[in-house]
Structure 1
C-alpha cells in the first residue's frame, strides 16, 4: 500500500492526516470514514516516516522467508471452490471446507482466515486482497470479477485455467533457461578459478618482462588483485545492494516506475516481450470477461488495470478511463496508450460500433495469449546468440590475457 497525506478542513481550520491506501480515491474514502466531520480537500502521495520504512522492510523480509505454496495445490483448491459454489454451496462454507481438507497447512490457514473474515462482514474480494502475493494479482482480479458478475464459479474456473497455463509456461521457461544457466555457472566458476589460481602463477613471470603488458593481461591482473583483496567485500556489497534494490522496488513508486519503464524498452527485447505480452494477455482477459458479463466499460477497465504489475504499462492503461470520461470512445482512448497494434485497434473499434465488443476483446485476448506462448517456445533460440557472444568474449579475454605475453616472450627469445 502507498502512503498518502490527506488535506482536510474542520471548522475552517486546515490540517493534514496521513494514512495508507492503494490509490488516491481509496485514500479520500478512508479519510471520510475515519473523520466524518471534516471536508476532504485533496490526497497526495508522500514518503512514509523512517519508522514505517523500517517496519515495512522487516515485514517484507519476513514475507520473503515465508514458504511459497505449490501452484498445483492452489489450482486444486480453486477448482474445488468453483465446483462447490456451482453446486450452490455458500462461499464461506466452501472456503471452510477447502481449508479443513487441504493437505497444505499454509493454504488451509489462508482459506480459513478468508472464511472467518467473510463471516465478520468483509466481501470476498477485500478478504482475498492481503493474500495477493501468494495467489497472484490475477487471482484477486478474478475474485472481484466473480463478485461483480455474480458468477464466482465461472470466474474461478477461468482462474484455474489461467493458473494451469502459467504453471505450464513457467515449466517451459525453466526448461529453456536450464542450459544457459548451467553454462553461465560453469563459465563463472572457470573464470574465477583462472583469476584466483592460474593468473597468480603467471604474475611473477609477467613482472620479469619489464614491458607494458597487453590490455587483456592487464584486465586479468586487475581482476585478480581486486578479487583477492576485496572479494568478500564485493560479494557482501552486491548482496546488500540487491536487497536495497528489492526494497526500493517494493516501496518507492517512482523508483519502481523508472525500473519498469526500462524493462519494457524495446532494446531489452527478451524482458520486454515477457512482461508486455503476459501483462496485456491478463489485462484483456479480465476486461473481456467483465464486458461479457455486462459490467460497464469504466468499471471493467478499473478492475482490469488493478492487476497490472508493471507500473509503466499500468499508468498508460489508467489514461483510458480518464479519456473515456472526457468523451472519447474506447478505441480512441486505447490508441493514445500506444500499447495496441493497429490491427487490434481496428477490431476493437469494429466491436464497439457493431455491439460485439466482448467478442472482439476475446479475439484480442487470444492474440496476446498466442504471442506469449510463441515467446516462451522460442526463448531458447532468442537467448542463444546473447550467450554465444558473452561466452566468446569471456574465452577470448582469458586466452589473450594468458597467451599474448607468452608470444611476446617467444619473440624476445627468438631475437
Structure 2
C-alpha cells in the first residue's frame, strides 16, 4: 500500500509518499528519513506513476520470459525430497538439482538458493524471494518442513499437491477444449458470413430502398464496423485484455473488486471453481500444519497465503483475529460465511474431541470431491451457454437476411 505522509519541518509543510504495509510503518519511515520533522497525518493514496510504470515493465518482462513449467518444478521438488530423505545435505542437494535441471531459469534460482544457504540462511529464508516463481504452497511447505524437522516428508507432500494441481489443470483444459473449439468455429463462420455474404445483400436492400427490420440493421452495422474498423477493433480488444491483466496484477483495489465479482453467486460456474479450489488449498495446508503439531494461530497465517482470491482471503484472515479475541475456531469459521453448516459441525466435533486434523482432512476431501465433480462435468455445465450462443448467432443471421427478403418478395408480388 502507498501512504502520503504530511510533515512539518521548520515551519514548512512537506509531503512524502511511501510504500508500506500500514500507516504506522509509513509514518515510521518518514520519521527515520526526517528525524527533526513532525508527522502531521498519514493517509492512503494511489501509487506514484513511476512506480506503476516500473511494475508494468517488470510484468511485461516476465511475460516475455515466460513461466517455469509446473512439470519442471515437480521434478526438482521430488528430487529434493528423495535426496534429503537419503541424508544428503540441503546445499549439496540443491547444487546437484541445479546441475541436472534443463530449465535455465530454474537452474539459476536453485544456484542462488544454494549460495544463500551456504552464506548462513535457512531454506525458508533463501526461497522466500522466489515466492512468485514457486507459489505460496511451496513457501508454506518449506516452512512446515523446517518447523517439524521432517523436510523430506514436507517436500514429498508438496510434490503430491503440485501434481494434483497439474492434473486438475489438465482435466480442466481438456473439458474446455471441445466447447472452445465449437464456439471458435462458430465465431469464425459468423465473421466470414458477415464479411462475404452481408455486403451482397446490402446492395440489394439499398436498391429497393426498403425499410429494414432491426436484425438486418444490426447485421449491416456489424459488417460496416468490421469492414472499416476491423484492425482497430482487434487492437482495442487485445489492448483492453492486456490492460485488464496488468491492472489486476498491479492495482490492489481493482484486484479486490475483480476477485469479489468472480465469486459472486451470479457469476455462473467460475465462482464455484474459484471458491472450491481456494477452500481446498486452504484446508489442505491448514490440516497438514495442524497434523504436524504447528499451533493453530500460526497454521492459519500460513494457510491463508494459499488463497490468491483477495475477497476470500480477507474473510479468512478474520479467523485468526477472532480466535485472538477468545472465539473458538468453529465460531470464527462461521463468522466468515464461507463454510457450510455440515462442515462447521465436523470442525466443531474435531475441535472438542482433539481430532481436529482428521476432521480437517475430511473437510479437504469434501472440497476436493466437489471440485472434481465440477471439472468432470464441466462440458455439461457449459453446454447451455454454448447452445444459447450458437442459437443467437444462427437466429441473428437468419432473421437479418431472410426477413427483408420476404418483405421484398411480397412487394414484388403485390406490384402492378
TM-score (norm 2): 0.91
The DSSP-based 3-state class of the residue aligned with 1:94 is: helix
Residues 27-85 of structure 1: per-residue CA shift (max 9 Å, x gap): 579959988x8999998654221111111111110011123222222111101111122
- State the shift of 1:371 in Å: 1.1
The corresponding residue for 1:299 is 298
**C-alpha distance in 2 between matches for 1:34 and 1:83:** 48
Task: Measure the CA separation in 2 of the matches of 1:20 and 1:300.
Answer: 28
Report the CA distance shift for 1:29/1:358 in structure 2 as closer, same or farther (over 3 A).
Answer: farther
- Residue 131 to residue 29, structure 1, CA distance change in 2 (3 Å): farther
CA deviation profile, 1:259-313 (whole Å, cap 9, x unmatched): 0011001112310111111110110111011111111111111111122110010
Q: Distance in 2 between matches of 1:414 and 1:294?
A: 88
- RMSD between superposed Cα atoms in Å: 2.9
Q: Which digits, 9 at most, give the CA deviation of each residue in 1:324-347, with x for residues without a partner?
A: 111111100100101001010011
Give the deviation of 1:357 after TM superposition.
1.0
Residue 28 to residue 287, structure 1, CA distance change in 2 (3 Å):
farther
> 8 Å contact 2:5–2:30 — kept in the other structure?
no
2:169 is matched with which residue? 170
1: CA distance between counterparts of 2:28 and 2:307? 23
Report the secondary structure of 2:390's partner residue: helix
Q: Relative to structure 1, is the Cα distance of residues 250 and 403 closer, same or farther in structure 2, using a 3 angstrom cutoff?
A: same
Cα distance in 2 for residues equivalent to 1:280 and 1:286: 10
User: What is the CA distance between 1:411 and its match in structure 2?
Assistant: 1.5
* Aligned positions of 1:230-269 closer than 5 A: 230-269=229-268
- Which residue of structure 1 lines up, in the alignment, with residue 211 of structure 2? 212
Check the 8 A contact 1:28/1:42 in 2, yes or no: no
In the other structure, the counterpart of 1:356 is 355
Please name the residue that 1:309 is paired with.
308
SS at structure 2 position matched to 1:309: coil
Q: Which residue of 2 aligns with 1:275?
A: 274
- 5+ residue gaps, structure 2, are none
CA distance in 2, matches of 1:53, 1:239: 20
Contact 2:27-2:39 within 8 A present in 1 as well: no
DSSP 3-state at the match of 1:97: helix
> Which residue in 1 is equivalent to 2:90?
91
Conservation of the 8 A alpha-carbon contact between 1:145 and 1:286:
no
Q: Cα 1:56–1:30, aligned 2, differ >3 Å: closer, same or farther? A: farther
Count of aligned pairs = 411
The 2-side partners of 1:219 and 1:395 are apart by 14
1:181 corresponds to: 180
Bigger drift between 104-113 and 328-337 goes to 104-113
Change in 2 beyond 3 A, CA 1:146/1:41? farther
Q: Equivalent residue of 1:306, what SS?
A: helix
| Cα distance change, pair 363–28 in 1 and its aligned pair in 2 (3 A) | farther
Matched, 1:81 2:80: yes
Unaligned 5+ segments in structure 1 are none
Cα pair distance change 1:134/1:389, threshold 3 Å:
same
Residue by residue, what CA displacement relative to the aligned partner does 1:374-414 show, whole Å, maximum 9, x if unpaired? 11111111111110111111111011111111111122222
Asked whether the equivalents of residues 79 and 160 of structure 1 are also in contact (C-alpha less than 8 Å), the reply is yes
C-alpha offsets along residues 343-364 of structure 1, whole Å, 9 cap, x if unaligned? Answer: 1001111111111111111111
* Conserved? CA contact 1:324–1:330, under 8 Å: yes
Q: Displaced runs of 4+ in structure 1, greater than 6 A?
A: 6-10, 13-17, 32-35, 37-44
Q: Partner of 2:269: helix, strand, or coil?
A: helix
Larger mean Cα displacement after TM superposition, 40-49 or 202-211: 40-49
How big is the shift at 1:7?
A: 8.8
Alignment of 1:123-134 (within 5 A): 123-134=122-133
Greater shift in the superposed pair: 81-90 or 218-227: 81-90
Conserved? CA contact 2:3–2:26, under 8 Å: no
**Mapped partners of 1:17, 1:218: distance in 2:** 56
Q: Do 2:77 and 2:159's aligned partners in 1 also have CA atoms closer than 8 Å?
A: yes
Assess if the C-alpha contact under 8 Å between 2:27 and 2:42 holds in 1: no
Preserved CA contact (<8 Å) 2:79 2:97: yes
1:33/1:147 Cα in 2 relative to 1: closer, same or farther (>3 Å)? farther
